[in-house]
Structure 1
Amino acid sequence: MIKQKTLLLLLLCQTFFYSYSLNDKNKVYRISSDFIHVTFDETDGKLALATLDENVFFETKFKSFVKDKTKTIKSHEISNLGFSNSIEIHLLNGEIKLVSLIDGVPFAFLETIVVNSSKRPLKVDKIDICDAKILPMVEDSKLRVLGTGGLTLVNEQPNSGKKLHKKPYKINEASRVSPAGSYMFLSIANPETRSGFVGGWISSNKGSGIIHYFSNKGTTNIRASIDYGRLNILEHSNFDTEVLALGYFKDCRLGLESYADIVANYYEIELNPQLDGYCTWYSRPNGRASDENKIIELSEDAKKKLKPYGFDFIQIDDKWQRGLYKNGPRRVFVNHREDGPYPNGMKPVAEKIKNMGLTPGIWWMPFAGTFDDDFFSDKQYLFSKNQDGTPYVAKWGGAAFDLTNPKTLKYVGDISHRLANDWGYKYFKIDGLWMGTSTKNQYGNNEYIGNDHLGEQIVENPNITPIESYRLGLKTIRDTVGKDVFILGCNTSQNMRVFGASFGLMDAMRIGPDNKPEWKYLKMGPWHGTNRYFLHGKVWYNDPDPLYVRNEMPIEHSKVICSWVSISGQLNVFSEWLPDLNPERLHLLQRTLPSHGLTARPVDLFEEFFPKIWELDNPVLDQKIVAVFNWEDDTELGFNKDLEKLGLDSDENYDVYEYWTGSYKEVKENLKLKIPKASCRVFSIRKKKSHPQVISTSRHITQGIVDVVEEIWDEKTKTFLLKTKNIEDDNYEIRIVVPSAMEVDKVIFNKSEIPFELKGSLLIANVTTKITKNFEWEISFK
């Protein structure tokens, strides 16, 4: 059953009922749950999904169905989600449609069974599942669509590359499809209320699920389909397609989070703990793979300066490995280059990093080789082939492996074993993932693109689909190295086929292309991470690529990327030469560690192509963190937002502290300010109280979330008790709002009285400890 917190929020205050019925006279079949009514009318073939107050939000017609074969089914099981009540609809083309509702789940599920009753195998490259009207009770022109291509209007091509970059990644316009489409998920919402439709493929076991969207005569429509490329359905057999979830939500953000919960349950996802660390690739100096001396120098520095704050791993990137340098990286990962940066091998380096209490990590490409490299001369069986028998080659990726071949899977498993078990690397960054599907490189892409050669190759076992074989490759890696290796995939932007096909098989995923410290590239990670925020911590950890704090960057740019990573909570990796960072930049990096592990949400997800506002709630304190970002590098941002839109009560008064400017004020009804170009502001907001309360700390950009363990006000003794986690040798400043009618007597920290400062309503105290642990405070008032 579904257990995640998002679904519990949705169930709150709902009355449960779960039923089905049949109107024999009109042949109208109906099933209901505590979220949705489903009806199928045999008189006209109309299938409708409605909210509990009977507002239809999804409507489709099956024109060619077999009358009198429709039936309701009890206890139909959907893998790892539970048993459902279902309506079974038989179509004349041999397909069976199952529409199901599960106890406590806010979606209806649509499954298709393809029946091959012939004496010959049925070859399929694509299956159309349904065309439907989406009726979210608002004018079509006001709706916004959120898919993998970002936020658009219903009739608008996403073209996210053009919107994000002055010199966008080039996509062949002829390959674009109409209507526009999104991989795996789609939400159609009213931006003013966030209410609307959420749909998504919860599985991607053999096919690549797509949802197209378009407007037809003022009505919003979707078209759900699955690309298989190469699917052989054996004679006299049935084939179950992927499962589509459909729902209506008062807040589509919660709907998207529920979708991620469903995926996590379906695949029984149990992620390894989130890690924060270092990647060598972008470092200047000593970037790419670094070398065996510099990597140890950096690791020693990280152990001293960052490990106490929550730093975990050191990952070595491309250029350590052997092979012919052609069309992208070298691709022989069985050993190191003797003339390269690690002449003494990779195992000794991993051991040294591990002995410092850090996790050693390594980059590699598991699903491709270089067919004309001498190393592969006797291994041509590894490659999928074009129709003329030559290896299938993609730009930068090399020659694609045939993962339907057990010999290829063994080769992948053997390398995995060597890297993890023989050499000791427990963090994998696996690149070129799309090569496991033998498709084109479509780097920089987000929205659905047309022909990419899916399923066109000759392979050892044509009865295994490209997506299925890709998943076999990932499973081989995981089964070989075990659960304790943290696996990061890289990356979805090479070809979005791997987006859904990777669900359930890795801990983290690079959700966008490579970034750089320059502003226009620095923004790419936040844009991709925002539009896919709901997957983070549920399906995988979103990796937006490294943050940067290098000395020559504008400090405001560094504050922006550090703030975004800290507030969103997504994977925190940096790629700087740590020994050369000046104290200000090191201090900034330390303020981002560790990741908070909570659910943060973009406020204006359905209002802005590049959302500017994030919210994060502190479960220990009654505190909300609101971050506002100005993504424009040439324009000041005028910001004025009703508190209600930020999840606060407009009738209440609030204490507000801004982290970067150190400013405090009281706010009611709305939050209004101006933010300079390419900058941000991070606010700690708490409802005003008649007693003291912590409003901010210096420890972390989240201002108390990772360090304030306990806060107690004792009215009887007029004593304010706190417990904070302090880091050795780190100057820690705490900021406490004191009501005007109260007078501070003394501040005791770790059983010793310490000095403090009063600035208006703020009590400010600073401490530095010699060890890392939880410390107690006692602040008394007269």
Structure 2
Amino acid sequence: MRNLFFIVAVLIVIPSAFVNAKSSSIKHAADNKAAFSSESQYSISNPFMTVVLNPNTRTLEVRSKSPKKIFLKNIVPNGATGTIRKGEVTNAVFGKGRVLTIATANGGSISFTLYPLQPFLFVNQTIKNESNSDVDLQKLNPVSFLVDLGKPATTLKTLGTGGLLDPDKNSGSYVFLTTVDPATRNGVVTGWLTNEKGSGVVFSGVNNNLVEIKAQIDYGHFRLSAGKSEATETLVIGYFDDARLGEEQFADAIAKQQNIKLKARSAVYCTWYSEKNGGAGSESSTIELAKFIKNNLQPFGLGVVQIDDQWQDGGQYNGPHRGFDRVDPKGGYPNGMTPTAIAVKKEGLTAGIWWMPFARNHQDPEYKDRQNWFAYRKNDKPFETKWGGTSLDLTYPEVQNHIAYVAKTMHNWGYNYFKMDGLYTGTVTEQVYINDGYKNDSIGNNKPLYNPLKTQIEAFRDGLKILRKAVGGDVFFSGCCVSQNMRSFGASIGLVNSMRIGPDFNHDGQTIRTGAIRASRLYFLNGRVWWNDPDPSMIRENGTSSADGGGAGIGSLTRARMLPSFVAVSGQFFLSSDWLPSLPADRIEIMKRCMASHKGVARPVDAFDKALPSVWIANDKKSGTQRNVIGLYNWDTGTKNIGSTLRRAGLNDKTSYHAFDFWENKALPDISGSFAWDLPAESCRIIAVRAKSNHPVVVSTSQHVTQGMTDLLKEEWKNQTLSGTSKLIGGDNYELRIAGMNDGGAWKINEATIVGNKEGVTIEVLPQTKKGWLRIAIKSQKSQPIKWQLRFNKDNTRNQ
């Protein structure tokens, strides 16, 4: 047993593919019995870095190739004292690589691998139980190292799930931690590529004025049989000139490892927070809502109506009722859930439903003879948490059959969108609501599961896989929510389509900031690993939710635009939960202009400057030209001057840009070098910018706040003609905002036409309201793509 605990102190990580003989192989070039005559025999390289092993101390350092500098020092593979080998590895996911392997006590090994196309060092390890009895591990502390960014640790920050913090003030982060110099954005991204059996966390501190990183895997219970070897998780580490790009590439690596193929999304209506017909609503109110959406909002992107908690049957003992395979006869759906799903689908929408897949109530009479279905604490009491109920033992065959049956039942009712709440209960951990940074949740404070060889994280992932197999690929899995306990964060990756990345709206007292805070620090996962769900964008002026959750009114129209605009520009998951038929037209207008999702790239400009970024940039090239939109957000309660240099925003600081303010519906003076505007308290400005050319260009359109990214499919200038294709919404007035009438000469529009015989489509040149700008109005009676042409001549007789 003493030998086993020694192994615990030295562990690092290895992916399952690495130890699978069918998908991976290692060829060792030499070992420490041979005479190494040069450093190269102790080093490996790829286009991004070089890793050098000191054979005497068995520590490593890593040097970036551009720029050439050491960024990782004193990498300690704890307890690695055995044979050193250098060789090649073939990984089923990442291909061929070069590897340094160090043997450890008790038959294990630690490997450091570089793959040619990956800007990360992969740290892997196997462990082996050479004792004569099974062992039960709670956690592993695999590796530690120092980050050297060429500046004192006091000038650096760490960004993780707990936010942007000083390195010695960070309690720890789940899945990833970025060490960054805010002034330059240079940084090191450390992250757990896998969370298959354990929950990977990362800690930071300060050692000799350098940031010290320590990696940890929490298991709760990891049972290793006598004589068996086992792979743990995979850690990756990389240096980046812009740490935002490093985080994005980390997410790309996760997606590659998990073979994630994102499921298409649309905007979702959730009944929970509604000031009228909240909770689960009712059959009549949900059908009324579906009809309203079909007639008013579906063409703009709202495609799902999701019924929330309070539709289901069962006793109420601790939080929600949990009879998910039947309907509460006293509730709002006396005819069952099927008629409502049919009615919603009749309107061309997807029907969604809320449930808690991994918890029931052990007190309920229906479970009187099923007490073996539940996980148990060490004190032999059922593992029950506040609101969450009693955790099911997801390794028990009858439980597996049960959750599959319930999922199939709801799917057969006609529901193709599952909001799956309380996911943390499947990990058999405490509720730690609200959980962002690392907190000791006493993982492992339970008796081993029915199958003791399954860890709690592994059992949780198996549970999600069972649900997916039960309903097939056409059901959208919306995870909810990691803030209840972050153990479900990494463990859900690859198995849900979206994830609520923060708590319920305003449960932390941050109102409109609640979702934006978490969506900003985890932005790089969105559109790569899953869709980030920041919870509904409230826009109603007054009134409170009929359900709990703090769904109070937002107030002014200016304030109401903030969160929807943030979600739209950042490209995250749009949800609504106001009673839509009662909203005034100006609030409905906000939804119309924000619900659709662009397919460009969005990132926070000041991600490492403040806890909640104020400047975002989104760009897209799919129309054949570069479209850029700047989002400015004043989250504070006083006026702020917000801006950036063009260079820091990712724009060309050698050129000038035309600019158009969407919500103000006006052209702005050209910008060059930098930009900044005063923003009133809790307000936003969404500004399209377009590099100046020598001819007229489309800077903005009216359909969506991203001003062309969702609707302008093509734009081209040829033979003094500006032409394009726009995706119009039937009955919606569409406008092109064109600048550059004085660029390359004084341009005069001769003719505006629609290409082809498009019945019910009109085009009109509007009166000029801004010198150098032109507005074109197009209207179609039905939703369709429209090709338009604007013919220009140079008019040297006038000065526009």
TM-score normalized by structure 1?
0.92
Q: 1:212 aligns with which of 197, 203, 206?
A: 203
1:92-122 CA distance string (max 9 Å, x none): 3654111111121111100121121111112
Contact 1:74 1:85 in 2 (8 A): yes
Q: 1:367 aligns with which of 342, 348, 358?
A: 358
User: d(CA) in 1 for partners of 2:443 and 2:77?
Assistant: 31
User: d(CA) in 1 for partners of 2:312 and 2:293?
Assistant: 25
Question: Who is 1:536 aligned against?
Answer: 526
SS at match of 1:595: coil
Question: Who is 1:762 aligned against?
Answer: 773
Contact 1:412 1:477 in 2 (8 A): yes
Q: 2:653 aligns with which of 650, 655, 664?
A: 650
SS at match of 2:295: helix
Q: Does 1:151 align with 2:164?
A: yes
Question: Who is 2:629 aligned against?
Answer: 625
Question: Who is 2:722 aligned against?
Answer: 720
Contact 1:437 1:454 in 2 (8 A): no
User: Quick one: structure 1 residues 41 and 76, their matched pair in 2 at CA, closer, same or farther if it must change by over 3 Å?
Assistant: farther
SS at match of 1:24: coil
User: d(CA) in 2 for partners of 1:601 and 1:617?
Assistant: 9
Contact 1:746 1:753 in 2 (8 A): no
Question: Who is 1:514 aligned against?
Answer: 504
Question: Who is 2:10 aligned against?
Answer: none
1:529-548 CA distance string (max 9 Å, x none): 01001111111110000012
Q: Does 1:607 align with 2:621?
A: no
What does residue range 74-85 of structure 1 map to in structure 2 within 5 Å? Answer: 74-77=88-91, 79-85=92-98
Q: Does 1:258 align with 2:249?
A: yes
* Stretch moving more, 92-101 or 404-413: 92-101
Contact 2:78 2:143 in 1 (8 A): no
Measure how far apart 1:755 and its partner are.
3.6
Q: Does 1:662 align with 2:665?
A: yes
Contact 1:601 1:614 in 2 (8 A): yes
User: d(CA) in 2 for partners of 1:403 and 1:147?
Assistant: 30
What does residue range 383-462 of structure 1 map to in structure 2 within 5 Å? Answer: 383-420=374-411, 422-454=412-444, 456-462=446-452
**Can you give the 5+ residue segments of structure 2 that lack an aligned partner in the other structure?**
1-27, 543-554, 757-761, 794-800
1:1-28 CA distance string (max 9 Å, x none): xxxxxxxxxxxxxxxxxx9999813675
What does residue range 375-386 of structure 1 map to in structure 2 within 5 Å? Answer: 375-386=366-377
Contact 2:45 2:51 in 1 (8 A): yes
The two structures, once aligned, show a CA RMSD in angstroms of: 1.8
Shift >4 Å, 4+ stretches: 19-23, 516-519, 750-753
User: Partner letter of residue 657 of structure 2?
Assistant: Y
Measure how far apart 1:518 and its partner are.
11
Question: Who is 2:476 aligned against?
Answer: 486
Question: Who is 1:233 aligned against?
Answer: 224
Measure how far apart 1:257 and its partner are.
0.7
SS at match of 1:470: helix
Measure how far apart 1:44 and its partner are.
1.6
User: Partner letter of residue 228 of structure 2?
Assistant: S
What does residue range 43-62 of structure 1 map to in structure 2 within 5 Å? Answer: 43-52=56-65, 54-59=68-73, 60-62=75-77
Measure how far apart 1:579 and its partner are.
1.0
Measure how far apart 1:677 and its partner are.
0.7
Question: Who is 1:276 aligned against?
Answer: 267
Measure how far apart 1:347 and its partner are.
1.1
User: d(CA) in 1 for partners of 2:610 and 2:30?
Assistant: 43
Question: Who is 2:303 aligned against?
Answer: 312
User: Partner letter of residue 773 of structure 1?
Assistant: Q
Contact 1:183 1:499 in 2 (8 A): yes
Question: Who is 1:65 aligned against?
Answer: 80
Q: Does 1:743 align with 2:733?
A: no
Q: 1:701 aligns with which of 693, 702, 705?
A: 705
Contact 1:30 1:40 in 2 (8 A): yes
User: d(CA) in 1 for partners of 2:404 and 2:792?
Assistant: 65
1:277-302 CA distance string (max 9 Å, x none): 20000111111100000000000110
**Can you give the 5+ residue segments of structure 1 that lack an aligned partner in the other structure?**
1-18, 158-179
1:382-413 CA distance string (max 9 Å, x none): 11112343211101101111112111111111
Contact 2:763 2:778 in 1 (8 A): no
Contact 1:20 1:31 in 2 (8 A): no
Contact 2:601 2:620 in 1 (8 A): no
User: d(CA) in 1 for partners of 2:739 and 2:616?
Assistant: 24
What does residue range 628-643 of structure 1 map to in structure 2 within 5 Å? Answer: 628-633=632-637, 635-643=638-646
SS at match of 1:743: strand
User: Quick one: structure 1 residues 485 and 46, their matched pair in 2 at CA, closer, same or farther if it must change by over 3 Å?
Assistant: same
Q: 1:301 aligns with which of 283, 287, 292?
A: 292
Contact 1:492 1:511 in 2 (8 A): yes
Contact 2:599 2:620 in 1 (8 A): no
SS at match of 2:105: coil
User: d(CA) in 2 for partners of 1:721 and 1:255?
Assistant: 38
1:541-587 CA distance string (max 9 Å, x none): 10000012214331112111111011011111101111111111111
1:266-320 CA distance string (max 9 Å, x none): 1111121122120000111111100000000000110111111222111000000
User: d(CA) in 2 for partners of 1:386 and 1:649?
Assistant: 59
Q: Does 1:780 align with 2:782?
A: no
1:112-145 CA distance string (max 9 Å, x none): 2112111111221111101111112222111110
User: d(CA) in 1 for partners of 2:384 and 2:79?
Assistant: 43
User: Partner letter of residue 70 of structure 2?
Assistant: V
SS at match of 1:521: coil
Question: Who is 2:13 aligned against?
Answer: none
TM-score normalized by structure 2?
0.89
Measure how far apart 1:781 and its partner are.
1.9
User: d(CA) in 2 for partners of 1:567 and 1:196?
Assistant: 25
Measure how far apart 1:437 and its partner are.
1.1
Question: Who is 1:162 aligned against?
Answer: none
User: d(CA) in 2 for partners of 1:240 and 1:753?
Assistant: 64
User: Partner letter of residue 628 of structure 1?
Assistant: L
Measure how far apart 1:747 and its partner are.
2.2
User: d(CA) in 2 for partners of 1:451 and 1:572?
Assistant: 31
User: d(CA) in 1 for partners of 2:29 and 2:499?
Assistant: 41
Contact 2:377 2:445 in 1 (8 A): no
Contact 1:196 1:249 in 2 (8 A): yes
Question: Who is 1:171 aligned against?
Answer: none
1:200-231 CA distance string (max 9 Å, x none): 00101100101100012211100001011101
What does residue range 78-97 of structure 1 map to in structure 2 within 5 Å? Answer: 79-92=92-105, 94-97=107-110
Q: 2:486 aligns with which of 491, 496, 504?
A: 496
Measure how far apart 1:519 and its partner are.
8.3
Question: Who is 1:34 aligned against?
Answer: 47
Q: 2:536 aligns with which of 502, 523, 546?
A: 546
SS at match of 2:89: strand
